Chains A and B, each alone.
Chain A
Amino acid sequence: MGKIIGIDLGTTNSAVAVMEGGTPKIIHSAEGRNVIPSVVDPISHVVGDVAKRQIVLKPKTTVFSIKRLMGRKFNDDSVQFDIKWLPYTIKAGRDGMADVEVDGRTFTPQEISAMILQKIKSDAEAYLGSKVTQAVITVPAYFDDSQRQATKQAGEIAGLEVLRIINEPTAAALAYGLDKKNAHTIAVYDLGGGTFDISILELGEGVYQVKSTNGDTHLGGDDFDQTIIDYLAEEFKKENGIDLRKDPQALQRLRESAEKAKIELSSSQEAQINQPFITQGEGGTPLHLTMTLTRAKLEQIVDPLIQKTLKPVELALKDAKIKVSDIDEIVMVGGMTRMPKVLETVTKFFGKESNKSVNPDEVVAIGAAIQGGVLGGEVKDVLLLDVTPLTLGIETLGSVSTPLIERNTTIPTSKSQVFSTAADNQTQVEINVLQGERPMAADNKSLGRFVLDGIPPAQRGVPQIEVAFDLDASGILNVKATDKATGKEQSIKITGSTGLTKEEVEKMTKEAEVHAAEDAQKREKIEARNQADSLIFTAEKSLKDAGDKVTEEVKSQVEEKVSALKGILDSGSKEDLEAKTKELSDALQKVGQAMYQKPGQQPDAQASDAAEPKPDGEASKDSGESSKKEEPVEGEVVN
């Protein structure tokens, strides 16, 4: 069975997405772009970017904004309005419907749209490597039955079975999973290239119903560009007395500069406009356009346009008989909603942040693809793979939290790591299963703990304890610890490791961010302490092994350094620990030199005693005791 694609058939641009591996993906056009300009040359059958490039050359045969005519009568007010500015010929066709005449041939808006859909279809097939026959297409919420029928027909002409026509705002809501979140009343603010739509939706029986819509069919990014062009041109005129807008070549460069500056100013505070030799002054002297546009200036000049969107929003709320405070979620759609000032204005109006994480040019197509996935049976709860919201790990030496499964890992998944003991002759380890982002065990949530005992007495670092985490699709965590020497194992099953509310996850993640700096310090200190502890052990062992091969002088030197380091093991600062560790390490070199037949032991030699343990993966054991632990204690007891 083929894939069902989701299509956002837009006025200015169109986009297409498909479900893959349970997640929606935007399909790029053959030209490598995420959107396809809704521009068609029906005579030579050219669509998209290529058609757009010849628009100046063939103004009468290149059709754009065809969506404005879909399913409309020639006598409709809106058609009569658009006729005035659209350069191609519009005439009355069958049943008084608006048709387009190109080079003496008549095309219905459906046929023109079908050419866009055909291009989308073939680009999708090239991407997927298989035939595409079914699609979900989106339409504005205000489209009436005739307009929806026309859209469906367009799909059929293009050879697509249109499984469903869905509303653009609904698609945007689906893309954010708002239906799953049970967001009851939502507002979708869609500021596109040429149109502005505001829709108020309400969730009823799992489906969003349109409560009201409003908007401005001739307000969008193009108007913003024009405002910037006018501003730049006026500034240039003030200085040089020449109107760049009168020269088509200069205007072209001005337009590009304006669009580039607009995009740049969404992420930076200043944009440089550099167009050398843009025109010639008196006597043929070349003139350059060099200007700095600040975000503040841009916001000032486009503010009337942004304010213009608020009136329709108020009307839509009034029609829906809903107060601003009743809106649970706001969704941003359309490229212009990237402008910080637009976001700010909307946030201020509704008194809450909007959903804007999904690319606003792609969000509608993504929602359509999700709907397609639902219809095709691809999106089912079973198949929607979850991720672990927080990191899962165990507590190791020095009360450190060592992660095994990092947050945002797709489940089901399993991970294992080999650990060892922290003390000589330690016969049991306690596995404390932790959840959270903080590096210290105590700051994370303990999900459960168990003891693996019966480990044969051995030097610290020698036993190999494999700890395996297995997290299944429903979030049940199985933790198993196995002593590789004896094969003895112990395990625990933890349910509800993912059953945290969104708020809990957010709180824990935020805490981790807030404490990031101090946590890192703490962790560094513990690491320094562990390293010192490990070196003390090595030093004592070396001295014992060396016996009388080393002089008393060297021996006492080392012993002195060992006791100095021991003295500050738990009280010293990270710097002190490191300094004293270094001193001991240097003193220890002499022992190595003395035992010339035995190469000098490096500070971390202890960790390499065991075959597999990672240098830091040492010893999971009771946190309370580990800090006091210098003397090897027999069979460490855990309460």
Chain B
Amino acid sequence: MKKNEKKIDTNEFENLENQLKRALADYQNLEKRIAGEKSEWIKLSNKDLLLRLLPGLDSLLLAEKHTQDDGVKVSIRHFLDILEQEGVKKIETEGKDFDPKAMEAVSTRVGEEGKVVEELRAGYTLFDLVLRPAQVIVGSKS
């Protein structure tokens, strides 16, 4: 009888110890991850804001394309310089191989197979992370 009781105790003990270990492990892992995430956060905290600003830049780029106005061109250069200081870089596309990691294919056009024929909307990286993929037209034989 006594032995039996003891067995239950051991079981319960193991169970509790297991749960404690689990809770500690979760906590320690969380701490590790928070340390890692914190440095990421500092770097990427502007991400949402930047993403919301980009459509404005898109419009300026379109205006430049259609009007060929020098003033607009200079303004865009200025804007891009500011963004670059914040770690934002434009993704180079035209003439390059299509790369789905950084680009999104919107349509195809006769041209060199697999190469970007035209960029429709610029894409940007933020500290080597894709902030927004570029939208491009990709060349195709047919």
CB neighbours of B120 from chain A (8 A): 249, 252
Q: What are 9 contact pairs spanning A and B, CB under 8 A?
A: A53-B103, A57-B98, A57-B105, A128-B29, A248-B106, A248-B107, A249-B120, A274-B59, A277-B66
Q: Are B104 and A53 in contact (CB under 8 A)?
A: yes
Using CB atoms, name the residue of chain B closest to A54: B100
Q: Are A129 and B106 in contact (CB under 8 A)?
A: no
Q: Are A56 and B105 in contact (CB under 8 A)?
A: yes
Q: Are A378 and B22 in contact (CB under 8 A)?
A: yes
Mark interface residues in B124-142 (1 if CB within 8 Å of A CB, else 0).
Answer: 0000011001010110100
Mark interface residues in A498-530 (1 if CB within 8 Å of B CB, else 0).
Answer: 000000000000000000000000000000000
Q: Are A286 and B133 in contact (CB under 8 A)?
A: no
Given contacts A277-B66, A378-B22, 19 further A-B contacts (CB under 8 A): A32-B129, A50-B101, A51-B100, A53-B133, A54-B98, A54-B104, A54-B105, A56-B105, A57-B108, A128-B29, A129-B32, A248-B106, A249-B106, A249-B120, A252-B107, A277-B59, A277-B62, A377-B18, A380-B19
Query: In the complex, which of the residues A21, A46, A56 contacts B107, with contact meaning CB atoms closer than 8 Å?
Result: A56
Asked if B65 is an interface residue, CB under 8 A from chain A, the answer is yes
Contacts A20-B26, A252-B120, A274-B59 given; indicate if A286 touches B66 (C-beta within 8 A): yes
Asked if A383 is an interface residue, CB under 8 A from chain B, the answer is yes
Asked if B82 is an interface residue, CB under 8 A from chain A, the answer is no
Docked complex: A362-385 residues within 8 A CB-CB of B: 377-378, 380, 382-383
Shortest B55–chain A CB gap in Å is 8
- What 9 pairs across the A-B complex have the smallest Cβ distances? A53-B104, A57-B105, A277-B62, A248-B107, A21-B26, A54-B100, A56-B105, A53-B100, A50-B100
Q: Are A277 and B63 in contact (CB under 8 A)?
A: yes
Q: Are B107 and A383 in contact (CB under 8 A)?
A: no
Asked if B23 is an interface residue, CB under 8 A from chain A, the answer is yes
Query: In the complex, which of the residues A21, A57, A253 contacts B138, with contact meaning CB atoms closer than 8 Å?
Result: A57
Mark interface residues in B17-29 (1 if CB within 8 Å of A CB, else 0).
Answer: 0110011001101
Q: How many residues of B contact A (CB 8 A)?
A: 35
Shortest A436–chain B CB gap in Å is 31
Q: How far is the CA of A276 from the CA of B18 in the complex (A)?
A: 61
Contacts A21-B26, A382-B19 given; indicate if A276 touches B105 (C-beta within 8 A): no
Q: How far is the CA of A314 from the CA of B71 in the complex (A)?
A: 62
Q: Are B62 and A56 in contact (CB under 8 A)?
A: no
Using CB atoms, name the residue of chain A closest to B27: A21
Q: Are B65 and A277 in contact (CB under 8 A)?
A: yes
Q: How far is the CA of A50 from the CA of B23 in the complex (A)?
A: 36
Shortest A498–chain B CB gap in Å is 20
Asked if B74 is an interface residue, CB under 8 A from chain A, the answer is no
Contacts A276-B62, A277-B63 given; indicate if A56 touches B27 (C-beta within 8 A): no
Shortest B20–chain A CB gap in Å is 10
Docked complex: A265-320 residues within 8 A CB-CB of B: 274, 276-277, 286
Query: In the complex, which of the residues B63, B107, B129 contacts A249, with contact meaning CB atoms closer than 8 Å?
Result: B107
Q: How far is the CA of A51 from the CA of B27 in the complex (A)?
A: 35
CB neighbours of B32 from chain A (8 A): 129
CB neighbours of B34 from chain A (8 A): none
Shortest A17–chain B CB gap in Å is 14
CB neighbours of A274 from chain B (8 A): 55, 59
Mark interface residues in A236-268 (1 if CB within 8 Å of B CB, else 0).
Answer: 000000000000110011000000000000000
Q: Are A21 and B105 in contact (CB under 8 A)?
A: no
Q: Are A46 and B100 in contact (CB under 8 A)?
A: yes
Q: How far is the CA of A31 from the CA of B101 in the complex (A)?
A: 10
Q: How far is the CA of A57 from the CA of B66 in the complex (A)?
A: 27
Q: Are A21 and B106 in contact (CB under 8 A)?
A: no
Docked complex: B29-72 residues within 8 A CB-CB of A: 29-30, 32-33, 55, 59, 62-63, 65-66
Using CB atoms, name the residue of chain B closest to A385: B23
Docked complex: A9-64 residues within 8 A CB-CB of B: 20-22, 31-32, 46, 50-57
Shortest A411–chain B CB gap in Å is 14
CB neighbours of B18 from chain A (8 A): 377
Shortest A559–chain B CB gap in Å is 59
Q: Are A53 and B30 in contact (CB under 8 A)?
A: no
Shortest A248–chain B CB gap in Å is 4
Q: Are A56 and B100 in contact (CB under 8 A)?
A: no
Docked complex: A61-92 residues within 8 A CB-CB of B: none
Q: Are B106 and A252 in contact (CB under 8 A)?
A: yes
